[in-house]
Amino acid sequence: MAIKINDYTKSREWFSRATKVIPSGVYGHLGPAEGNFMPVTSFPLMGDRAQGTYFWDVDGNRFIDYMCAYGPNVLGYNDPDVDAAAIEQLKKGNCMTSPSYKMVEFAELMVDTVNCADWAFFAKNGNDVTTAAIMTARNATHRKKIVFVNGFYHGVSPWTQKIDYPGVIPEDVANNLYIDWNDFDQLQQVFDDNKGEIAAFISTPYMHGNYLDNSLPADGYWKKVRELCTANGTVLIIDDVRAGFRLDIAGSDHFYGFEADLICFCKALANGYNVSCLCGKDFLKGAVSGLSYTGSYWMSAMPFAAGIACVNKMKQLDIPTMFREKGLKLTNGLKEAAANNGFNLVVSGEPALFYLRIADDDSLFIHQDWIQECVKRGVFFAGHHNHFINAALTDEDINFTLEVADEAFKAIRPKY
């Protein structure tokens, strides 16, 4: 039986209202432009509710959500344990003049959990802590330059953007240096050319950038990078905002067998409650202490309580093993569905954060067409971003996804 095709009438109505009072209707990564909704008519624009691995839009369409709110949904939406801890703390006190002792408990838990952590510094979004990491590195080294990996995304502050981005001036990025992923020789050259000037090398643990197949670190890459940074007095920052906890509860640097000096967490940290965390080694504790860097809600207690419950539950469930298994089961099934319909679906990155690309043309038109056919049938994939597994995803959900994927392949087959 054919799967129902979604109608988005109310989504369009709400979006139309939004455009009158909100710049571009929905800005940023959840919006149709950055979210690459192609065509926009195939995608939901406004959500209504969520539970477990699903969200429902304002038209009542249900989606199996492989974007997980772009990462925060790690245990399942409305996880009862996390929500109970959060609500209990909310009743006791949230945003107060004295921070709750929950902050101390959470920091202790982070130090116990994250392999390279001697301390924890909390904020709200990933960008807050990547910026804290850069400022810490500059404060500690008294150097200006930062090395980035091409294809990077480390947030939205001007230093994280590029010279051609709207609102960015050349001076914002004047001290940014760029190398290609996995190219240690290039990194070595940049270090040689900028001897004594590089404050930090910042990178995600593997290349999970957008618009390209994701790429794992080459054998020995991180060991050599670690040695190079140490030898040059450069701070090694791992941006684990996206992959954090999904590969390894102790941090993705631990997963790949090295130790970062600073590591940034956000998304999976508190199952949707707004908190981010910078962890680091003892020798940088003074440097981060000296920063003038804070925010009105950074020490709110409710997200700390949620974070404690979330980290403990992720440990209890052994999230990394579970996500690897679920990710492999799903992606192997998707590849099989593609092959059965004569398409070549390339799956890259780690299974817990799989990236998809149909490789039958070099333009991605086929890929985009397949993605929208899946979304129209209730499986929310993104066109050009890695996906996320969550703990509430069941075998039944995976089987339904594969059914949708197969029907979507069949729907586009006549066109290609």
Partner 1 sequence: MTDSKTLAYINMYAVLGTLENLCELDENARALLKNKKPVSIGLEVKDGPAATLMFKNGYCRMEDGCRSDCTIKIPFSSCEKFNGMIDGTVTPVPTKGLMHIGFLLKSFIPLTDLLSKYMRPDPKDLEDRAFFEMSTTLMFYTIAVAIAQIGNNDAIGKFSADHIVDGDILMSIGDKISATIRCKNHRLITIKKDMGTPRSLMKFCDMDLARALFDGKVNAVACIGEGTIIMGGMISMIDNVNRILDRVALYLA
Binding residues for partner 1, rule: CB under 8 A, are: 15-16, 19, 23-27, 31-34, 36-41, 45, 162-166, 170, 211, 362-365, 368, 383-384
CB of 268 to partner 1, least distance (A): 27
Of 345, 356, 413, 359, nearest in space to 380 by CA = 356
- Which residues, at least 6 apart from 87, have a Cβ–Cβ distance to it below 8 Å? none
Residue 229 contacts residue 241 (beta carbons within 8 Å): no
CB of 273 to partner 1, least distance (A): 28
Distance (Å, whole) CA 50 – CA 398: 18
Whether 163 and 212 have beta carbons less than 8 Å apart is answered as no
Question: Nearer to partner 1 by C-beta: 11 or 89?
Answer: 11
Minimum Å gap between C-beta 405 and partner 1 is 21
Task: Report residue 144 as tokens.
Answer: 């200006």
Report the amino acid identity of residue 253: D
Rank residues 32 and 333 by Cβ distance to partner 1 and give the closer one: 32
Closest distance of CB 14 from partner 1, Å: 12
Centroid of chain to Cα 98: 31
Complex with partner 1: residue 283 or 416, whichever CB lies closer: 416
Token pair recorded at residue 234: 């450069």
Please state the closest distance from residue 364 (CB atom) to partner 1, in A.
6
Mention every residue, 6+ apart, whose C-beta is less than 8 A from residue 409.
337, 338, 340, 341, 343, 370
Question: Judged by CB, which is closer to partner 1: 40, or 95?
Answer: 40
What distance, in Å, lies between the first and last C-alpha atoms of the chain?
23
* Structure tokens given for 239: 């941006």
Residue whose CB is less far from partner 1, 36 or 271: 36
Enter the tokens of residue 77.
Answer: 């939406």
Nearer to partner 1, 37 or 201 (CB): 37
In the 8-state DSSP scheme, what is residue 362?
S
> Closer CB to partner 1, residue 32 or residue 93?
32
Nearer to partner 1 by Cβ, of 40 and 90: the residue is 40
Shortest Cβ 143–partner 1 spacing (Å): 24
Q: Which residues contact 273 (CB under 8 A, 6 or more apart)?
A: 82, 86, 302, 303, 306, 307, 310
Q: Indicate the residue among 45 and 68 with the shorter CB distance to partner 1.
A: 45
d(CA 70, CA 30): 8
Minimal distance, residue 8 CB to partner 1, in Å: 11
Q: From residue 23, how far is each of 69, 164, 290 by CA, in Å?
A: 21, 21, 37
379, 404 contact by CB (below 8 A): yes
Residue 111 beta carbon to partner 1: minimum distance, rounded to whole angstroms:
40
The radius of gyration of the chain from alpha carbons, rounded to an integer in Å, stands at 22
Q: Is the Cβ of residue 164 or residue 396 nearer to partner 1 in the bound state?
A: 164
Least Å distance between CB 339 and partner 1?
A: 24
Torsion sign across C-alpha atoms 236, 239, 240, 243: negative
Residue 173 CB: number of other CB atoms within 10 A? 19
- Per the document, the length of the chain is 416
CB of 150 to partner 1, least distance (A): 9
